[in-house]
Amino acid sequence: MLLMVAEPGVPLERATVFRRSVAGAETNVATGLARLGHHTRWLGRVGDDPSGRSVLAALRADAIDTSYAVVDPSAPTGLLLRDSHPARAIDVQYHRAGSAASRLTADELTAEMVAGARLVHITGITPMLSDSAHTATLRLLELARAAGATVSFDPNIRLKLGTTERWRTVVAPLLEQSDITLAGEDELELLGMTAHGLLAAGVTTAVVKHRDKSATCSTADGTWRQDAFRVPAADPVGAGDAFAAGFLSGVLSGTPYDHCLAAAAAVAALVVQCTTDTDGLPDRPGLARALSSFTGAAETVNR
């Protein structure tokens, strides 16, 4: 989607100045992984309009492969309007009913798109956009399995997209079809699931972001925990996607889970200090500097 963020601190209904950017949960994760040095491909749809061209240009600027992106001449690119404030609820307005993304269909997805992929990342937002997008998500899961790719799934619940009942109907079953889940504690509760239940259902790695901002990673071999790094927050939106990018980067790099969690927390800490969803996403040297700074500060506090 195209993202228009009101100037910091101004309520959306009073805003007259906006900053243009790009948003979308999967897009944020793709951008985060690309900046951390991973070859990333984006599968999605935009309209044949200035917003769509802006979205694709932003993705390509981060070296994300958009060769399979669909440009729809008969539907608009989705739009997200929101304000930004560190100390109150953020006002978010979605404009994507009938958007190009909502018209995603299963027959648009081919095995070629995921050939050679090590990881396929999906969120619960796409299947909630429309019935055809739900069917397409199931098709992508089939293709990922056939390609031998690891599937990561983040429910990314947005109640403006549907009722609690619909989220449970559409998204809850997808949790158990992933290899790696990344979910908020409140999201798992809404979907009637626990980390233990996910592991019992066949998920290999269950990552839970807790209400106290800590996170745990559970597998058959044990559980690891990571506290959030303390930073001044300018805008909390995008933290979950940033966390996912940092964690999945660690998985792709073959690092131990405790290191994956630390990287995830560091990327999230960098993102919440910036206004848009992607401004704070670091490259690999930037992440290394942040980890050194955050862990050094934590050691000082602990002493």
* Marked catalytic residue, from 241, 258, 277, 279: 241
Two tokens, residue 154: 């983040």
Instruction: Say how far apart CA 162 and CA 96 lie, in whole Å.
Output: 13
Provide the b/e sequence for 236-247 (b: ≥16 CB within 10 Å).
bbbbbbbbbbbb
Instruction: Say how far apart CA 99 and CA 103 lie, in whole Å.
Output: 7
Instruction: Say how far apart CA 138 and CA 132 lie, in whole Å.
Output: 10
Two tokens, residue 262: 């630390």
CA quadruple 258, 263, 269, 275: dihedral sign = negative
CB atoms within 10 A of CB 199: 16
Which residues touch 130 (CB under 8 Å, ≥6 apart)? 102, 103, 104
Our answer to whether residue 241 is catalytic in this structure is: yes
Task: Using alpha carbons, list the distances in angstroms from residue 164 to 50, 122, 161, 241, 248.
Answer: 34, 19, 10, 21, 28
CB 244 within 8 A of CB 121: yes
Instruction: Say how far apart CA 101 and CA 114 lie, in whole Å.
Output: 19
Q: Which residues have a catalytic role annotated?
A: 241
